[in-house]
Amino acid sequence: MTNPTVRPAEPGDATAIRCVARESWHSAYDDIIGASTVDETIDEWYDTERLRESATRTDHEVFVAEHEEIIGFVHAAPHPDAEAVFQLLRIYVVSDEWGSGLGSRLLNRVEGRLRERGGERVRLSVLADNGVGVGFYEARDFDRIEEREADGFGVWEYVYEKEL
């Protein structure tokens, strides 16, 4: 298989991004928050109109990875409360690609873009029981800076930060 292409997202990618999010969320979170909560969250957080808008916002960075179809994506935006800090809002790849290096490629691409924009740090949150996500961030030099209850899920999440 050829290496997937990583490119800036376009508004027309919204439906595919939502599909990747649904598949990867079910793989990562069904055992933590339940399949019905995953579906409800995807329906709310991954509204295709809002995804289309995110792809066109100049203050957001959204990239997709594709090989015949979209198999991963990353989305970052300025942190609302901290100058020169960006939030990694989303990074997901289909579960068949976990461990392939595709998530690292997406992360590297968005981090490079954030540095170009003057970013000094990137911050994110991940559910504490998501071992795949926690391991991914910790292996990429993110520092855990906070533990808190995740809004609406009744479980704990970790906040990570990394210097760009």
Domains in the chain with CATH codes: 5-122 (3.40.630.30)
Give the residues across from 148 on adjacent strands. 157
% of the chain with per-residue pLDDT over 70:
99
CB neighbourhood size of 73 (10 A)? 27
pLDDT of residue 1 exceeding 60, the answer is no
Residue-wise pLDDT tens digits, 8-46: 999 999 999 999 999 999 999 999 999 999 999 999 999
Largest pairwise CA distance in the chain: 42
Mean pLDDT calculated for residue range 148-155: 91
pTM (two decimals): 0.94
Map tokens 């295709």 to a residue. Answer: 48
